[in-house]
Amino acid sequence: MAVAQSSSQPVAEQWQIAATGAQDVTVLLVLAVAIGVGVVWTYRSLDPQLRKSIRLGITALRALALGVCLCLLMQPSLRFRTILNTPAHLAILVDVSGSMNSGGTESRLNAARVLLERAKTQLRDLEKRFNVSWFRFAETPTEVRDARESTEPPAEKHLSSNLCGSLEQVLERFTDEELAGVVLLSDGADTERPLTPIKAEDVAFARAHGVPVNTVLLSSTEHRKDLAIAEVKVDPIAFSRSEAPIRVDVKSIGIPDREVEVILWQDGSVVQRRVVQIIGGAGQANFAVAPSRLGPHVMTVTVPVPPEDKLPENNRAYLSFKVVRDKIRVLHLVGHPSWDQRMLRDTLTAWPLVDLVSFYILRTAYQSSTYGSSGLALIPFPRPQTIFEKHLDEFDIVVFQDFKPVTVWHERHMQRVVDFVERGGAVVVIGGTHGLRAGGPASSILQRILPLRLLPRKTPKRRQNDLASFRLNLTPVGFRHPITRLKTDIEENKRLWRSLARLDGANRVLGLAQGALSLAEHPHAQVEDGALPIIAVKETGKGRALAITTDALWRWRFSGPLGGGPLDTYADFWHRAVSWLTRDPELDTLRVQITPSPVPKDQPARIEFELLNEAYLPVPGVQLNCTVSWLGKDGVKAYDNFSIRLNDQGRYSLKWRPKVDGPHRLTVTGENGVSAATRFLVQTKNKELSRLDANEPLLKAIAEASTGHHQQNELKLDELQTRVTATQKVLSRVDIPIWDRPWAIGVFILLLALEWVLRRRVGLL
């Protein structure tokens, strides 16, 4: 505890009296209170008949003795220190990003150099008071030796601006040191933050450090004449068949306001055009595209290049987004209400991705004709032509659940379903009382697309079904197929399937159709070519078909333990089935993945290939021929071809270096006939080119938040705001104890002795 201190010099010796003993404030307070109580008790215990001066004298001697005792407990020492007074740091940051660097000798960076040159004398004075650290920054800050180095143009001309991030990094670098202030010379452009009005939270970091940031705006624009696409905004995920809005901000500097045509391109073709009126140097074009193809999309936006435009590079911009399915439209045709129908309905209606249209047969024809329609609550049931000729293509999946279409609808409607599947639609046929029994779809043209060969019409009834309950077995294909691979780990998947409820019976069939795959089969019942398939799939034309030979899958809905485990196994199964049926790109058998997205130009991208067969087993050793094309506004130009051969796991990975920026397409064809195409974007970090105008509000906000000073195109160092000028560093310290000297004990004894003498003289002893 310091009790005295001498004055200081830049490097100075100081002394002070310091306590080296009991320093606990609580203990000292308790002792002080005890002394006070003791002193009061001493005074009150004296005979009131005594003269007051005597009583006060005795009390004072007791108080002094106790005080000396307390001092001894604190063990006072004489402390000698050698102090070094260190000047605080002052950080000076110079922005060397692309927006500062363009314009040659008239660049803002050159203006910064001129300002620092003019302030050379003041800077020298500043260096006497502060420890000045110099930084230059674009994407990140770099410490340099002096002012000259800080304003040297960087080798890369169009570095992006990470103003706030760089400033924050510099402030954090001085966390353990005394930073008196910051001087920031910049045009305020920060390409890492969006083009939105500045909010308090954007500059909260500057306030949090408590260091004044003095900002100097460099905003000369005389040399610039530029029309640029400042920003393109599009959601990274778009939904198929839904409009995806695209907003394009156009800015101009030094060019008179005019009408500008903004064009949106894809694969070398114009998608949309907009005419934008530039007012006050800014304009906005809004596009809306409704892509139907799933997967990545890349597009180009252009504005014309006026003759006076000094920077034609920023008149073009690229955008990329991924299209996912918005809604999967399912037509659910049900032969009669059942628990299987109810649980499937529950699952599909609870899935926001599915748009379900159901038609249930609630009465047989006989019932309709016998009982009439009196009192019934009926909904319109459309004509078959309406469903199959007008609206079928609106759906992604048609589900026939325990439904015998052949006896209800004409063959030509079933032919529409076959065409629908061969064009890329999907069909699900679920068995039961009517669905897959002999004489059902077997007699229909629908049989052509089903994964199963159904029993002929005249099959005896006793042979049409297997009524024994069973627990189905996954086939080797079923363990890997996305529909039945409910758990990634194969052993875990096996355990899950073994834990599912037993099923009550199955429709017998002749066997699998050609090209079909059985995913799950009956444990005992046999057909011509093996076990009775329970879940089977088939690719038909561009579409897919799924058949289930039982109507008891609904039992899985109730088979899990409450609140956990395979509670949603039933829903999971159907979600997977729907994803496979609708060709979710995630489940493609030839998978091509390009990372990162977008691919930075001049940096290698990683391209990974994986090939699976229809059974989702790896296909090793296949040669894949790849073509990379550039999809510019001038058309599609192939510019790189290479071949790879897949390894034993059916995979291959390579690094590929792009040569040009813009939209690209990678087309892959295998020697076994498989093919895939994906699009990706190669992008130069040219955001800087689109943000050439100064952003004074950001610099002002930083200065205000940090209690710094803001200046425009001038550097007055005498107006800088700083918080401290120096810090002290203790070079050496010596403590000389003064409490353990004999005289200190002597004073204590002397005071007690004097009190004793005084008490004796007044007759108290």
Question: CA of 285: how far to CAs of 247, 263, 667, in Å?
Answer: 6, 9, 32
Of 353, 623, 621, 650, which is closest to residue 480 (Cα–Cα)? 650
Alpha-carbon gap, residue 17 to 314, rounded angstroms: 70
Alpha-carbon gap, residue 17 to 13, rounded angstroms: 14
Cβ–Cβ < 8 Å for 268, 631: yes
Alpha-carbon gap, residue 17 to 32, rounded angstroms: 20
**Beta carbon nearer to other proteins, 383 or 498:** 383
Question: To the nearest whole angstrom, how small is the minimum distance from the Cβ of residue 403 to other proteins?
Answer: 8
**Beta carbon nearer to other proteins, 155 or 378:** 378
Cα angle value 715/719/725 (rounded, 5°): 115
| Amino acid letter, 678 | T
* HSE-CB of 64 using CA atoms within 13 angstroms: 18
- CB contact set of 720 (below 8 Å; sequence gap of 6+): 126, 181, 183, 212, 214, 709
Strand spans (E) along 406-550: 426-430, 452-453, 465-466, 473-474, 506-507, 511-512, 517-527, 530-540, 543-548
Of 98, 94, 105, which is closest to residue 222 (Cα–Cα)? 105
| Amino acid letter, 631 | L
Alpha-carbon gap, residue 399 to 362, rounded angstroms: 17
- CB contact set of 423 (below 8 Å; sequence gap of 6+): 541, 542, 543
- Residue 402: Cβ-neighbour burial (10 angstroms; 0-12, 13-18, 19+): buried
C-alpha of 266 from chain center: 27
Q: What is the largest CA-CA distance in the chain?
A: 140
Question: To the nearest whole angstrom, how small is the minimum distance from the Cβ of residue 332 to other proteins?
Answer: 10
**Beta carbon nearer to other proteins, 244 or 418:** 418
